[in-house]
Amino acid sequence: MTVFDDLVGQRPVVAQLKAAVAAAREGTGGMTHAWLFTGPPGSGREAAASAFAAALQCTEEPAGCGYCAACHQVLAGTHADLEVVRPQGLSYSVRATRELVLRAAARPSGGRWQIVLFEDADRATEAAANALLKAIEEPPPKTVWLLCAPSPDDLVMTIRSRCRLVTLRTPPVEDVTALLVQRDGVEPELARVCAQAAQGDIARARQLAGDPSVRARRADVLAVPARLTAVGPAALAAESLVKTAEEEAKAMSEQLNESETAAMRQALGESAKGRMPRGTAGALKDLEDRQKSRATRIKRDALDRALLDLASFYRDLLALQFGARVPLVNGDRSRELGDQARRITPEGALRRLDSIMACRERLAANVNPLLAVEALMMELRTG
Ligand SMILES: [Zn+2]
């Protein structure tokens, strides 16, 4: 077992990374100092970058043994020569990036490389991207940048062109199913349904398999098409869709905030009676601001995922209507799909898919969620 065995359904990427680590160890061909890991949500971009970092720092054979101290520390995010950047809000500032660039230029303290793993690098603002570009153009000899983004197009051309690309694919349903069964002990039939529904998003598949309330929310979303019988029910459907997404996001945010705030208060020297030392209010306020910004993002992501689930329903509908021999994403909803297939023409299904995509764009542009989703429901009802 090496650190690469955890990458589900990514054989070509594993081969690419292993070859790069071997070349780096032999000192042949020179090390590429900037890497860009891309792949659809849940394909494991960060996991791949992290495995690569572990293999680069690993002190044993085979590289990325998974047992030595360096491997452990990298995977736990505690290695002295690894900095993991995880933008929490909607964007990553130029100030933070400049500080990061300075730290990244330091020589490794004990490891082989000074590594920066930048998750969601697409959230860097334009000014931040420029600061990053300078660091990537003239890299210190021992510094390695691992950037992660959904697709190469999410980064400015100037950065993209200086990175070596690592392209993760959507993991096959069978591989995700096997992971759920073998590692998480999920019952095979449930595992298959969840893997299919998650469309290659491993984290989402795990959530679905592990939490009945997540499955219930998905069921609510997929029940929407059947509920769009008149204007009243359509408006209600919009309301409940937005509310469900908000509740889901709230639960997630609270969970994250609680432990984070407790850890921060402790680090700042909270007294046994819960009093904070002087001069710590600013740091706590900063944390609160970051948490608010993150909550906004989580809310947006939750609603977007609901819309993607809904889109998958209409895509399944099209597949059924055209008799395409592809596995359905919502194979467990064949009755609802059959009902709608009789009511809606293929052209109608296509128009509804377009409407959903247009709604997602409006939401990304900050339109009031309830208004946007209400308008969408009216289009789905009559479209
Ligand atoms: Zn190791």
- 123-140 per-position pLDDT tens digit: 888 888 888 998 888 888
Distance 145 CA to ligand 1 centre (A): 20
Distance 62 CA to ligand 1 centre (A): 8
Determine the pLDDT at residue 312: 95
CA quadruple 318, 199, 42, 55: dihedral, nearest 10: -130
Question: Mean pLDDT score of the chain, rounded to an integer?
Answer: 90
Distance 213 CA to ligand 1 centre (A): 38
- Poorest-pLDDT segment among 49-58, 201-210, 230-239, 276-285: 276-285
Distance 165 CA to ligand 1 centre (A): 24
Distance set, CA 163 to CA 52, 116, 137, 268 (Å): 15, 14, 10, 39
Distance 68 CA to ligand 1 centre (A): 4
Determine the pLDDT at residue 165: 96
| Per-residue pLDDT band at 91 (split at 50, 70, 90) | confident
Distance 54 CA to ligand 1 centre (A): 7
What share of the chain has pLDDT > 70, as a percent?
99
Distance 50 CA to ligand 1 centre (A): 13
AA letter at 315: R
Q: Can you say whether the dihedral through the CA atoms of 269, 273, 274, 275 is positive or negative? A: negative
Distance 59 CA to ligand 1 centre (A): 5
Evaluate if residue 377 carries a pLDDT over 90: yes
Distance 65 CA to ligand 1 centre (A): 4
- Poorest-pLDDT segment among 85-89, 262-266, 344-348: 85-89
Distance 3 CA to ligand 1 centre (A): 8
User: pLDDT tens for residues 30-49?
Assistant: 789 999 999 987 888 999 99
Evaluate if residue 28 carries a pLDDT over 80: no
Distance 5 CA to ligand 1 centre (A): 13
Distance 19 CA to ligand 1 centre (A): 16
Distance 66 CA to ligand 1 centre (A): 5
Distance 31 CA to ligand 1 centre (A): 19
Q: What is the model's pTM?
A: 0.74
Determine the pLDDT at residue 26: 87
CA distance 68 to 178: 27
Distance 34 CA to ligand 1 centre (A): 22
CA distance 318 to 165: 34
